[in-house]
Amino acid sequence: GAGVSQSPSNKVTEKGKDVELRCDPISGHTALYWYRQSLGQGLEFLIYFQGNSAPDKSGLPSDRFSAERTGGSVSTLTIQRTQQEDSAVYLCASSLAGTSGGGSQYFGPGTRLTVL
């Protein structure tokens, strides 16, 4: 079946512009995660959606970052007034809910964001 898809695959933007990144999770997966990974660094958790529950936003680095998940499926991560330090690969993952579902995540290919 189809895996997690993300778009765009690459995004180059100018400092101060807003960007929107999209994630289509695997059908039936109720949990959705956003991470970012800077060059040579580990994964930094950003936000987590589980079903219709309020998202866990504890990882968002600033109020310039926000995310939505409409209809329990597609999610968009929005970064307003981008800064150069926002340059990174933004990864989305989805998983089934359940006792171990949180760990069995399936990742999309990521969006490589470059802020000039």
Partner 1 sequence: RKEVEQDPGPFNVPEGATVAFNCTYSNSASQSFFWYRQDCRKEPKLLMSVYSSGNEDGRFTAQLNRASQYISLLIRDSKLSDSATYLCVVISGGYQKVTFGIGTKLQVIP
* Structure tokens that stand for 91 in this block: 């990864």
Q: Is 30 or 82 the residue whose CB approaches partner 1 more closely? A: 30
**CB-based burial of residue 42 (10 Å sphere; 0-12 exposed, 13-18 middle, 19+ buried)?**
exposed
Q: Is 14 or 58 the residue whose CB approaches partner 1 more closely? A: 58
Q: Is 82 or 111 the residue whose CB approaches partner 1 more closely? A: 111
CB of 16 to partner 1, least distance (A): 28
CB of 76 to partner 1, least distance (A): 19
d(CA 83, CA 116): 8
